[in-house]
Amino acid sequence: MNSSESSDARFSSVDRRRHSYNRFLLFVAGLGGLLYGIDVGIIGGALPYLEATSRLTAAQLSVIVAAVLLGSVLSTLFAGLLADWMGRKPLMVLSGLAFIVSIPIIALSHGYAPLFFGRLLQGTSGGLIGVVVPLYLAECLAASNRGKGTAVFQWLLTLGIVAAALVGIYFSYRVDAVAHMASAASLFAFKDQAWRSIFWVSLPPGVVFVLGSLRVTESPRWLYRKGRQEHAELALLRSRTLEQAQREMKEMAQTGGASTPGTHLREPLLQRKYLLPFLLACVILFCNTATGVNSIIGYNTGILIQSGLSDLAAHWGYVVFTIVNFLLTIVGMTLVDRIGRRVLLILGTSGIIASLVAVGVAFLRTEAHSADVRVAVQQLVRADQPLALRLTPEVAQQLLAVSGVTSQIDPRRASFAIIYSCGDFTAATSYVRSDDTAAAPLVVDQANCLPVNRVEAFFKNPIGDFAAAQRASLRIEKAIVSPIPETSHGWLIALGLYLFMGFYAMGPGVCVWLALSELMPTRIRSNGMSIALVINQLVSTTLAAIFLPFVSKHGYSSIFFLFAGFTVVYFLTATFFLPETKGKTLEEIEEHFARRC
């Protein structure tokens, strides 16, 4: 072999190692997305069985769903500081360990408190992952494939939601089989075991993510900012050619990326070149979750059940919903580096608005036939005693008759929810169906309505009189009996949700992580991403926490119209304020905002 052939073989070997490492880096980062998706999606399949067996109120169930998002808020607050202090790689390992620990806490819990704590820890893991993995990918990948590479995080996030849905449908089949062969007590026990098993099967991906995170290199830009230029160049060379690595090292030096003294680091942060991209990212993150995507994913099965589908059909509908998310994310991945982020966001938000309005209108038509049987339910309330009301066809018929309701509501296919109050504080049950023989009774209780202490009372109603509420009697505000629509209506709602998910996956789903990591200048990237994600998670937590009480009081149509209104703001922001970042290095994007100042 001559020297030329030897050189070609050597370079070929280097190229293979570089490509192999890039694939491994994407695999590990993608596993982070998988865990994030499991965080979001696992409750969708488990919630119907948790609701049927835990005897938690609608407010408590909403908090359990929202606990993951609350944990994300808390961890996101400190994720940027932690990423700067300990590095991107160690924080990835820490986030995976938090996920692993959360699973047994949830699956072995008995009662509200341990279940809440486990979900909170799971959300803490998700918050750390949501900051550090996109940050790590943005700083490690070359500009030519950063869009597609960062989209892998979202792609495997959707795969995590699909996996959670498939686990849910598996247990739905088993529950359906038990329902036909076993007693009510056996069915109750099996449902209790089902939601615990759903959480157990999500444990292995967390273990693999931790093991993989131990083998990747640290972010080259983090190393450079810490003054470790030689280590930064070596990290770049694992995924770049020598020429690319040298060029990016020069760009980092020109933008002041190192922590050595210099005029760049003494510049005030309140400049347009920092504020504009920061505020733009915050608005995008706010609007992205205000589309209602996390609530629609978390409550998807319940939405489909109330739209007219059976339990089994609703679980299948949720599976199709997650598959649409997964497949359209692939489409977004192929387009994001071709047609750009801005075009995809405009296209996606347009479709989201149309689909949300369509679903809202479809629900509004069925909700118009609802009846309020408040007077009949109020007669059943006894002083200082909780009311436990199981909705059977006979009970539904009796409530309608006592209330003098003449509307065409079939008591054999009716849904029911109660909104009640103690003084200035209100509570709401979740919806139950009269054709669900295994549904737990609706519980109207003063303890579920009143805050635990004055602190909680302030957050529930800042102007409420806590002392007076403790002496007040239970008052039924609304008791809504609604007809269960036909199955065809349920699949029409499902189609609208599929369109919503498809447009979201293809546009905002792929682009939001890129917008978050690309728009932020190097100097504020980690902490800026944390603040933007805190806003994102606060909105998501609030929407998830109020979803069931809001729907019980105002109906599904109102919540979908609310989501559509927020998406209009998203569309206007993407259309008139978002610059295109396709094919630009992080330093070139930073220079774009600097030139506008």
Query: Which residue do the tokens 């932020």 mark?
Result: 520
Q: What is the structure's pLDDT at 18?
A: 74
Q: Of 113-127, 375-389, 419-433, 533-547, where does mean pLDDT reach its minimum?
A: 533-547
The band of 262, judged by pLDDT with boundaries at 50, 70 and 90, is: very low
Residues 384, 454, single domain; the answer is yes
**End-to-end CA gap in the chain:** 58
Alpha helices in 434-579 (DSSP H): 446-449, 454-460, 466-471, 487-504, 510-519, 525-554, 556-576
The band of 7, judged by pLDDT with boundaries at 50, 70 and 90, is: very low
- Of 421, 429, 427, 428, the C-alpha closest to 468 is 421
pTM: 0.67
In a domain, 237, yes or no: no
Residues 456, 479, single domain; the answer is yes
* Boundaries of domain holding 64: 11-216+267-364+490-595
Highest mean pLDDT among 6-20, 41-55, 244-258, 283-297: 283-297
Torsion of CA 406, 410, 412, 417, to 10 degrees: -70
Amino acid at 166: L
Q: Using CA atoms, how far apart are residues 331 and 336, in angstroms rounded to an integer?
A: 9
Please identify, among 436, 458, 483, the residue that sits at the C-terminal boundary of a domain: 483
Torsion of CA 343, 348, 353, 359, to 10 degrees: 160
Question: What does the pLDDT average to over 546-550?
Answer: 77
Q: What is the structure's pLDDT at 267?
A: 56
- How many CA atoms lie less than 13 Å away from 562 in the CB half-sphere? 18
DSSP code at position 404: T
| CATH at 84 | 1.20.1250.20
Question: What does the pLDDT average to over 170-194?
Answer: 77
In a domain, 245, yes or no: no
Q: Using CA atoms, how far apart are residues 28 and 371, in angstroms rounded to an integer?
A: 53
Residues 556, 452, single domain; the answer is no
- Of 188, 184, 248, 206, the C-alpha closest to 106 is 206
Q: Of 380-384, 386-390, 471-475, where does mean pLDDT reach its minimum?
A: 380-384
Please identify, among 462, 483, 504, the residue that sits at the C-terminal boundary of a domain: 483
- Of 410, 342, 331, 421, the C-alpha closest to 374 is 421
Report the 3 state secondary structure along 171-199: HHHHHHHHHHHCCHHHHHHHHHHHHHHHH
In a domain, 239, yes or no: no
Q: What is the structure's pLDDT at 82?
A: 85
Please identify, among 465, 483, 501, the residue that sits at the C-terminal boundary of a domain: 483
Residues 439, 567, single domain; the answer is no
pLDDT in tens, 226-237: 778 888 878 777
Q: What is the structure's pLDDT at 242?
A: 77
Beta partners for 420?
427, 476
Q: What is the structure's pLDDT at 584?
A: 65
pLDDT in tens, 307-324: 888 777 887 888 888 889
Phi–psi pair at 426, nearest 5 degrees:
-120, 160
Given a cut of 70, whether residue 9 has pLDDT beyond it is: no
- How many CA atoms lie less than 13 Å away from 242 in the CB half-sphere? 2
DSSP code at position 508: I
Q: What is the structure's pLDDT at 264?
A: 47
Residues 360, 384, single domain; the answer is no
Beta partners for 417?
480
pLDDT in tens, 498-514: 999 999 988 888 887 77
Residues 172, 79, single domain; the answer is yes
- Of 149, 139, 223, the C-alpha closest to 522 is 139
Query: Which residue do the tokens 């436990």 mark?
Result: 388
Amino acid at 226: K
- How many CA atoms lie less than 13 Å away from 132 in the CB half-sphere? 36
Q: What is the structure's pLDDT at 263?
A: 43
Q: What is the structure's pLDDT at 339?
A: 80
Given a cut of 70, whether residue 147 has pLDDT beyond it is: no
Q: Torsion-angle region of residue 233: left (phi > 0), alpha (psi -120 to 50) or beta?
A: alpha
pLDDT in tens, 51-80: 777 777 666 777 787 777 778 777 877 887
Burial readout 399-420 (b: 16 or more C-beta within 10 A, e: otherwise) = bbeebebeeebebebbbbbbbb
Q: Using CA atoms, how far apart are residues 19 and 13, in angstroms rounded to an integer?
A: 10
Amino acid at 51: E
Q: Using CA atoms, how far apart are residues 485 and 248, in angstroms rounded to an integer?
A: 60
Residues 44, 92, single domain; the answer is yes
Residues 141, 208, single domain; the answer is yes
* CA 9 centroid distance within chain: 47
Residues 463, 549, single domain; the answer is no
Residues 152, 22, single domain; the answer is yes
Highest mean pLDDT among 17-26, 178-187, 415-424, 528-537: 415-424
Between residues 550 and 520, the one the model is more confident about: 550
Highest mean pLDDT among 56-60, 243-247, 365-369, 543-547: 365-369
Structural domains counted in the chain: 2
DSSP code at position 371: E
Q: What is the structure's pLDDT at 384?
A: 67
Average pLDDT taken over every residue of the chain: 79
Cβ distance 122 to 39 under 8 Å? yes
In a domain, 563, yes or no: yes
Q: What is the structure's pLDDT at 497?
A: 95
The CA-based angle 294-493-298, given to 5 degrees, is: 20
Residue % of the chain over a pLDDT of 90: 9
Residues 521, 469, single domain; the answer is no
In a domain, 316, yes or no: yes
Question: And the tokens for 283?
Answer: 């608005």
* CA 137 centroid distance within chain: 20
Q: Using CA atoms, how far apart are residues 507 and 331, in angstroms rounded to an integer?
A: 9
Query: What one-character-per-residue DSSP string does 62-95 give?
Result: HHHHHHHHHHHHHHHHHHHHHHHHH-HHHHHHHH
Question: What does the pLDDT average to over 382-399?
Answer: 82
In a domain, 243, yes or no: no
Residue % of the chain over a pLDDT of 70: 84
pLDDT in tens, 268-316: 555 666 677 788 888 888 888 899 888 888 778 878 887 888 777 887 8
Cβ distance 30 to 152 under 8 Å? yes
Given a cut of 90, whether residue 354 has pLDDT beyond it is: yes
Residues 350, 479, single domain; the answer is no
Q: Of 346-355, 442-451, 553-562, where does mean pLDDT reach its minimum?
A: 442-451
Query: Which residue do the tokens 């075991």 mark?
Result: 193
